């Protein structure tokens, strides 16, 4: 199924955000938003949920801690017990530094791996340039008409009312 997207370019942040709010209130789906800097208000307009990446980091860190402590216990008390100065084989305070380092390592690796997988940033993937000047001084809004929503000329008029400098349609 071919979707036709409508792209509108804005010169300033306020008109961009007001157009995005108007589109969401008129049952027009905001597919993507491009801006030269992060706009946290656009997340609510687009209906983007909070990220679950901290949970991935927590699980990775706990897994690293458990593996670090288990490996040290296994190595020093089960597989190769050595009597060093009369200290017990399963001395927890001696395991803390390596357990901490394994926590940081696994949390970081889990976060990076989840971010790459979720973002679709595969190695060798070609970058797609979104819209001219969007990284400099322009804001772009990509919308898709839902069933029963306004027609394309009405959408174009709505975006022009909110200060769209330029707009066009493209296939997705």
pLDDT of 2 > 70? The answer is no
List the beta bridge partners of residue 142.
7, 32
Higher pLDDT, 51 or 152: 51
pLDDT for 48 beyond 60? yes
* Structure token digits, residue 92: 């927890």
Ordered by where they begin, the domains of the chain are 4-36+134-171 (3.30.70), 53-119 (no CATH)
Measured between alpha carbons, how far is 18 from 162 in angstroms, rounded to an integer? 7
Residues 6+ apart with CB under 8 A from 148: 27
pLDDT of residue 1: 54
For 27-32, what is the mean pLDDT?
84
What are the tens digits of pLDDT across the range 68-122?
999 999 998 888 887 777 777 778 888 999 999 999 999 999 999 999 988 888 7
**Cβ atoms within 10 Å of 57's Cβ, excluding its own:** 19
């Amino acid at each position: 199924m071919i979707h036709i997207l409508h792209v509108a370019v804005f010169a300033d942040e306020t008109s961009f955000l007001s157009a995005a709010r108007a589109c969401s209130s008129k049952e027009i789906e905001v597919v993507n938003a491009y801006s030269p800097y992060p706009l946290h208000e656009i997340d609510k307009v687009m209906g983007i949920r909070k990220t679950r990446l901290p949970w991935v980091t927590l699980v990775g860190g706990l897994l690293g801690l458990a593996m670090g402590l288990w490996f040290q216990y296994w190595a020093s008390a089960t597989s190769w017990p050595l009597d060093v100065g009369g200290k017990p084989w399963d001395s927890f305070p001696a395991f803390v530094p390596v357990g901490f380092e394994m926590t940081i390592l696994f949390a970081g690796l889990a976060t990076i791996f989840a971010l790459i997988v979720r973002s679709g940033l595969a190695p060798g993937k070609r970058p797609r340039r979104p819209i001219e000047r969007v990284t400099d001084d322009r804001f772009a809004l990509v919308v898709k008409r839902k069933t029963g929503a306004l027609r394309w000329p009405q959408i174009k008029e709505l975006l022009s009312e909110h200060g769209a400098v330029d707009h066009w349609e493209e296939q997705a």
